[in-house]
Structure formats: structure tokens, C-alpha cells
Structure 1
Amino acid sequence: MPEVIFPGPEGRLEGRFTPAPRPRAPAAVILHAHPQAGGTMNNRMVQLLHKDFVRRGFATLRFNFRGVGRSQGTFDNGIGELSDAAAALDWMQQIHPEAEVTWVAGVSFGAWIGMQLLMRRPEVRGFLSISPPANMYDFSFLAPCPASGLIVQGLADEVVTPSAVQKLVDKLRTQKHITIEHKEIPGANHFFENEMDELFKVIDDYLDFRLDPDCPIR
């Protein structure tokens, strides 16, 4: 997957991009965990998400938020990082303008950014939210949530309380016209270090369902 440098709000952003194998293929943007807690686009889970979407024929981009790796700028408590994510989506749409569907996948802090992005970009039609920090950040902007998606939580998460994520899920499930799939994995910590296989079994089952041409969720 080739390295790419594209313009962001505070200078260049560094990413890895795999082009789509066909016109009108779906697109996916993957957002990493908190930059000040070691999150980068090269974290294991982010790389595996990238490979999973590529295997399914997506045009796929992961990138470093500002101040991480070769990306310019400094950490901006989520405000600038949301702008970075929007710039990444803009860049990918210029490279792959025929995408009929776009997905966003986020890990922890990246899940919070990703769900803000889908509120602002109607072309985002599906999301994967892994360990969303529902007890640390305000998710009330999801009113209403515009897209269906999957939320996955580890029951041994030492950072995010499963009860906070359950409360978020319960709130989203009261909304009409979307479907929220919620899976909890016993024994898994915040980054599913010892349960990565179980995590990707959940993700793959969900993507198999959503990407089926006969899926009732659109």
C-alpha cells in the first residue's frame, strides 16, 4: 500500500492508501486511537482494519492525525483532528470520485472522531466504532445518528466502561431508520490485545451482512 502525503488544515498529513480495484467501489477511512496515548496509523488494529477493507475491494485510507509521524501540526483535542478526518475524506474522494458508498472505522478516540465525521458527511453510510470512549467524551451530537453501524466493546476494558457504551447504544437504538449492532467481547481490554481474532470475527460477520446485496440496511 503506497505512502501518500495530502494537504490538511495545518499542513501535510501522512497516510497509506490502497486504490480501489474497480470503478464505483466503496471507500473506507480508518481513524487511529488517541495521539497522546501512542495512537498511530501503524497500530496493529488499524493495520488489520485496513487489510480487511482492502480484501473486500474498498478504496482504503488510513492516516496519521496532526502531529503524529510525518503529519504536520499539533494535537488539538479533537477539534483539529475532525478537520483532519474531513480533509482525508476529501482527498480520497478526489482520488476515487466514483465511490457509491463510504464507510468510516475508528478505534477509541478515532471512533469519537469518526462518529462526528459521519454527522457532517452524508456520503458516510456505515461505521465501525471500536471501544468508543463514551465515558470520556460527549457523544450527544449523535442526534439523530445518520447511519447504521457496529459498536464493539471489550468487557475487560480498563479505559472505557462497558456501561457507558451500553448507555450510548441504548440511546442510539431509540432512533428510527438506523440499526445499531452492539457486540461485547468477554475478557477483551481496550485494544483487544489478546482477543483480536474474536474482534475481527465480529467485524467480518457484520461486514458480510451489511455488504450483502440483499441486506435490508442501506
Structure 2
Amino acid sequence: MLARTEKITFQGDAGAIDCALDLPMDPPLGWALVLHPHPLHGGARNNKIVTTIARACVERGLMALRPDFRGVGSSEGEFDAAKGETTDMQQLVAQFAQQYPEAAAGKFVLAGFSFGTSVAAQLYSALKAESQKLPDALMLVGSAVDRFKFRDIDVPDHTFLVHGEVDEVVPLSEAMDFARSRELPMVVIPDASHFFHGKLVTLKALVQQRLASI
């Protein structure tokens, strides 16, 4: 269960990265980094899909870190179409490990929603290219990875993809093209829109099922 949420600040290339850190009641078994949708379209760390994923992670004993990307809320800088945001998140991962070494030594979950999936996938690729510790789970919900791609994408074959059948922002066909090009399976929630209206309970259950396997 969620014990409390704290505010914490890390530093990226554009300045402060303002974050919410959700803490479990017991000593954490690891941590999750959960990335929000498009900053120029109202995306922020309090997005309901982001908070749903974070709660599922906390219930599995993980600390859940929800940053606001540059230019959102109190985070400094301006929108950079995933490139600067990915660099910021790579620096955040390193700083988190220094500040919370016990949690960082445990399980590591990386998740994103919509625009956040592109940052998450490219962050995973950057960590792998630099031989850094990789997430035990990569979860991409409402995937829009290729829309903001600026580097080669190298994601694991256990990448967890979830998409809404009637997504009006990122059509299912686009998500299928991404999955097909990388030979990844994808879970499709029938009648779900991009924002999973009325389907958050189903989404949370799927996330919990994936977390149970790591």
C-alpha cells in the first residue's frame, strides 16, 4: 500500500527536474520510473495512467518516481521532442542510484505512457549502449515510440506493450507496426481509448500481472 508521496528534485541538462516519489509502507524492494504523456498537450506526472501504473508498482513494494518533464510544472527548460527529456532521465537514473542505493540495487521498472513511451524506449537503449544497469521490466502503454525517435531503438523481447483497441491518438495500426517491426507481443484492451476511460482497473491488473513476473 501507498505510505506517502514526497516531492524531490533532480538535475537535468535544462535544470531542475521536479518529481513526485510514491513510497510503499515497507522498505522498498526496488523502484519504478514512470514517464508521462506529451508535455504540450497537458501531459504531466499526475496523469491518471501514470498514477495507475505507479500505484501498481508501489503495491508490489517498489518506490515509484514520477518526474515532470522539462517545461512542465516546476521542472525547468523547454520541450525538446524526447531528445533532451531522454538525456534528463538518464541523468536522473544515475542521481537516483546515488541518493537511494538500496532501492536502486533492487528491481528496476521503467514505464511510459504515450509520449513517455518514446522517452522510456530511448532511455532503455541509452542505458544498454552504455552498459548500465537495465530495467527488469520495460512497460509501454499507448506506445508512440517512433513518433519521437531520434536514435536507434534497442528494447528487450520481454517489453510489455498495452494498447487500446480504439485509441484515437495513436491508432492501433501504428502500435502494431512498432510491435511487428520488433517482433513483440502486445496486449490490446477491447473498446479502450487512448486514455483508457473506464478501463483503468483492467490496465492496473495487467501491470500487476507483469510486475509479478519479475
1:101 CA drift (Å): 3.1
Residue 92 of structure 2 is aligned to residue 88 of structure 1:
yes
Choose from 12, 20, 27 the match for 1:22.
27
Mapped to 1, the partners of 2:151 and 2:88 lie a distance apart of 21
1:100 aligns with 106
Choose from 6, 13, 17 the match for 1:2.
6
Mapped to 1, the partners of 2:27 and 2:157 lie a distance apart of 25
1:91 CA drift (Å): 2.2
1:139 CA drift (Å): 8.3
Aligned residues: 202
Q: TM-score, normalised by structure 1?
A: 0.85
- 1:10-39 Cα shifts (integer Å, max 9, x gaps): 11111011357437x222101000000100
Alpha-carbon spacing, 1:2–1:67, altered in 2? closer, same or farther (3 Å): same
Mapped to 2, the partners of 1:15 and 1:200 lie a distance apart of 22
Work out whether residues 121 and 145 of structure 2, in 8 Å CA contact, stay in contact via their aligned partners in 1: no
Alpha-carbon spacing, 1:193–1:146, altered in 2? closer, same or farther (3 Å): same
Choose from 8, 33, 36 the match for 2:37.
33
- 1:129-178 Cα shifts (integer Å, max 9, x gaps): 00011563448722x424622101101101112112112212222xxxxx
Kindly report which structure 2 residues correspond to 1:60-209, keeping only aligned pairs within 5 A, or say none.
Answer: 60-98=64-102, 99-122=105-128, 123=133, 124-134=135-145, 136-138=147-149, 141-142=152-153, 144-146=154-156, 148-173=158-183, 180-208=184-212
- 1:29-58 Cα shifts (integer Å, max 9, x gaps): 010000001000011111121111111111
Work out whether residues 134 and 164 of structure 1, in 8 Å CA contact, stay in contact via their aligned partners in 2: no
Residue 48 of structure 2 is aligned to residue 44 of structure 1:
yes
Q: TM-score, normalised by structure 2?
A: 0.86
Mapped to 2, the partners of 1:80 and 1:146 lie a distance apart of 23
RMSD: 2.0
The share of aligned pairs that are identical, in percent, is 29
Work out whether residues 167 and 193 of structure 2, in 8 Å CA contact, stay in contact via their aligned partners in 1: yes
Q: Which runs of 5+ in 1 are unaligned?
A: 174-179, 212-218
Equivalent position SS for 1:148? coil
Mapped to 2, the partners of 1:147 and 1:6 lie a distance apart of 31
1:205 CA drift (Å): 1.9
Mapped to 2, the partners of 1:204 and 1:14 lie a distance apart of 26
Work out whether residues 17 and 59 of structure 1, in 8 Å CA contact, stay in contact via their aligned partners in 2: yes
- 1:108-135 Cα shifts (integer Å, max 9, x gaps): 0001100101111142231110001156
Q: Which runs of 4+ in 1 moved over 6 A?
A: none
Work out whether residues 117 and 145 of structure 2, in 8 Å CA contact, stay in contact via their aligned partners in 1: no
